[in-house]
Amino acid sequence: MSERRVIPIGPYHPLQEEPEFFKLIVEGERVVDLEIEIGYNHRGIEKLAEAKHWDQVPFAVERICGICSTSHPFAYCLAVEDLLGITVPERAHYIRMIIDELQRLHSHLLWLGLAGHFIGYNTIWMWAWKAREPVLDLFELITGNRQHYAMMKIGGVRRDIKDENYPAIKKMVKELYPTLKMFAKAVNDDPIIQKRTKDVGILSKEQAISFGVLGPIARASGWDIDVRRDDSYALYDTVKWSVIVQKEGDIYAKILVRVLEMFESCSIIEQCLNKIPKGDIETEVRDIPAGEGIGRVEAPRGECFHYIRSDGTNRPIRHKIRAPSLMNVPSNLVTVPGYTISDAAITLAAVDPCYCCTERSAAFLKTGKKILTGEELVKLSQEKTEQLKKEYDKK
């Protein structure tokens, strides 16, 4: 039996809200066990939200995550509207959907770029992030900020989309299609990407259900769930789109689900722009009575869950937030062990950490065990791709 070694990844590892510390326990090349430690990013927003006025909370929960920064306020507003039992003007629904889908585009493009980086395709990183910039420009145009849009408000939206901005959105979506097609083709055609990602980090459907994973990870494992369709909010039931499901559960399926979802998002945005009526953008809300409400939103990473309870005063007495990563990240415990170290970087990245192993240092030291840093891990992963490329060229 070969010697057991420990490879720390982290803790400076800002995966969504939680930078995490992964401890890979390896025997030779093979990962045999994984330990996860989180909490380096815990700021106690649930407690802070209890001290904020109902109208201030959307700004607070926006700061949970920078990438799905509209999903959290959206889910919160839905929860309060569920408590109140009010309906929102149609125009506000469409604006919310446009913002939500634009955010999904930017989030998936961001992930695609980082996934490319981890398997040594820095070209994909640069291309995907370049394609992401027009989306951020749109956000700046519509909301005034590249991130943290502050669009959601109890009863509607805070800001209207101006008539003169429609052509810009349409143009962006139209120009994004060819780029997305290029990515889809690159993923489909490149034998190296296929070799690196197929049959790696498999999460079976049973495991997916047991871990309760959400969003694209569940859908890549053949578990057909999507809050947008199942518990339809806003007006997702009036536009035509389909839920992308793949059966394999490996990294390739996860890439494919996200790439194909971007096409759906583009289509939803186009339909919204064609359907959006004129009119009010908010329903006025005066008091929040005692009661409780739940809001669920399909964030780019899965179901984002907010529960609020009111006692009739001007602030919530309990605000529970469950971000999708809390359910997704533990699934690494079964997807990483059993494969080689060079596959670990992409497998850990496949649950959609915003951002991976490039920049952190090994702060965890154990005597007698060899320590590799996260940087070396990415290098290993990139070397494997190089190796495969050479083999392929020889053929």
Partner 1 sequence: MGLKEKILTKSLWVFHLSVGSCNNCDIEILDCLTPRFDIERLGMQLIGSVRHADVILVTGALNKKSTPILKNIYAQAPKPCFVVAIGTCPCSRHMFKDSYNTISALDEVMPVDLYIPGCPPKPEAIIAGLAKLIKKVTRK
Partner 2 sequence: MIKEEIKRRLEKNIKDWVVKNPKRIYFTIESKDLKETVKLFYQKMKLRLSTVTGIDNLTNFELIYHFSCDKTGELFNLRVFLSDRDKPEIDSLCDIFESSNWVEREIHEMLGIKFKGHPNLTHLLLDDTWPKNKYPLRKDYSNE
| Residues lying near partner 1 in the complex (CB under 8 A) | 11-12, 14, 16-17, 19, 39-45, 47-48, 51, 59-60, 63-67, 69, 110, 113, 125-126, 129-130, 133, 146-148, 354-355, 358-361, 363, 373-375, 378
Compute the least distance from the CB of residue 65 to partner 1, in Å.
6
Single-letter amino acid, residue 291: G
Nearest residue (CB) to partner 1, 78 versus 323:
323
- The contact mask relative to partner 2 for 83-102 (x = CB under 8 A, - = no) is --x-----------------
Nearest residue (CB) to partner 2, 17 versus 101:
17
Q: Which residues contact 313 (CB under 8 A, 6 or more apart)?
A: none
Nearest residue (CB) to partner 1, 47 versus 286:
47
What is the DSSP track for 150-172?
--EETTEESSPPPGGGHHHHHHH
Name the binder of 211 from partner 2, partner 1, none, CB < 5-8 A by kind. Answer: partner 2
The encoded tokens of residue 127 equal 């291309």
Single-letter amino acid, residue 351: V
Judge contact between 92 and 280, C-beta under 8 A. Answer: yes
Contact between 313 and partner 2 by CB under 8 A: the answer reads no
Compute the least distance from the CB of residue 283 to partner 2, in Å.
17
- The contact mask relative to partner 2 for 184-213 (x = CB under 8 A, - = no) is -------------------------xxxx-
Name the binder of 125 from partner 2, partner 1, none, CB < 5-8 A by kind. Answer: partner 1
Interface residue with partner 2 among 4, 30, 42, 198 (CB under 8 A) is 42
In the 3-class helix/strand/coil scheme, how is 2-58 assigned residue by residue? Answer: CCEEEEEECCCCEECCEECEEEEEEECCEEEEEEEECCCCCCCHHHHHCCCCCCCHH
- Torsion over CA: 325, 327, 333, 338 (sign): negative
Cα angle value 98/104/108 (rounded, 5°): 150
Judge contact between 328 and 352, C-beta under 8 A. Answer: yes
Interface residue with partner 2 among 111, 129, 307, 339 (CB under 8 A) is 307
